[in-house]
Amino acid sequence: MRLIAGMTATGAALLAAGYGAYLGFEPDRSRFPLRGVDVSHHQGTIDWSALKSDGIAFAYIKASEGGDFSDPKFAENWREAGRAAIARGAYHFFTLCRPGGEQARHFIATVPKSPGALPPAVDLEFGGNCAKRPTRAALQIELTKFLKAVETHYRAKPILYVTRAFHDAYLRGAFKGYGFWARSIYLEPDFRTKSWVIWQFHERARKPGIKGPVDLNVFRGGPKAFARWRVRGELMAPSVGPVPR
């Protein structure tokens, strides 16, 4: 019994140490100097000045979802991120049960054209989505409608946020002209290796100015590359190249 108890305590300690290492994980700053967050109303009221002081360079802010939901904190977050001089972009959660054109119209009605804004982003994942599962061809048609409408309106090529599961089910081999925002917690992305632009590496981080957990991201490149991509979203395959070392 004593041996079992000792092993249990050791295992618990190892788990705690591992979780602590995960919470504090950040990619090498010499390779990825630009840090960012993505937020929604779930983060509550944010102290954007505190985020800026902590070195956050950019933020993607949830604007809309589906054809009729607007994030209740979007306008405030958009305004305050701008006041804090944090590069800001808006994202839309793409639902599987609404037409792409309808979703694009809703996003456009929600997000103003703002000089210097980051390229618009579309969030593509199964988590929190409707139960409907369209065919690969049908999804790609509706997503293309969304992307084209948004690109035409903002004159910037959208970036596609993807989980590995969603990517492999619907996007593998497609949308080669777009930059990707890859979700790969803790580990460097091993898909879209030539075309991911942003890497979401954390989903439970703690940052000054935000009371609860928040997602953390890095940009693939330095300030000059970020400035070029920020204008029109055109840092994409094959121009992205290998991850800087």
Spell out the domains of the chain, with CATH numbers in brackets.
Answer: 28-232 (3.20.20.80)
Q: Is the pLDDT of residue 14 over 70?
A: no
Helix, strand, coil fractions of the chain, as percent rounded to 5: 35, 20, 40
Element of type H or E holding 60: strand 56-65
- Any idea which of 18-27, 141-150, 206-215 has the lowest mean pLDDT? 18-27
Contact 94, 103 (CB under 8 A): yes
- 182-241 confidence digits (pLDDT tens): 999 999 999 999 999 999 999 999 999 999 999 999 999 999 999 999 877 764 433 444
Mean pLDDT, the chain, whole residue set: 89
What is the pLDDT confidence band of residue 23, given thresholds at 50, 70 and 90? low
Burial profile 113-139: b = 16 or more Cβ within 10 angstroms, e = fewer: eeeebbbbbbbbbeeebeeeeeeeeeb
CA–CA distance, 113 with 170 (Å, rounded to integer): 30
Q: Look at phi and psi of residue 15 and say left if phi exceeds 0, alpha if psi is from -120 to 50, else beta.
A: alpha
Q: Is the pLDDT of residue 72 over 80?
A: yes
Q: Is the pLDDT of residue 6 over 80?
A: no
CA–CA distance, 121 with 38 (Å, rounded to integer): 11
- Looking at residue 167, the DSSP 8-state letter turns out to be I
pLDDT of residue 239: 42
**Residue scoring higher pLDDT (9 or 163):** 163
What is the pLDDT confidence band of residue 47, given thresholds at 50, 70 and 90? very high
Work out the percent of the chain whose per-residue pLDDT is above 90: 81
pLDDT of residue 191: 96
Q: Is the pLDDT of residue 134 over 70?
A: yes
The Cα-based distances of 64 to 34, 85, 109, 186, 231 in angstroms read 25, 23, 10, 27, 22
**What's the residue count for the chain?**
245
- Calculate mean pLDDT across residues 55-60: 98
pLDDT of residue 233: 76
pLDDT of residue 11: 53
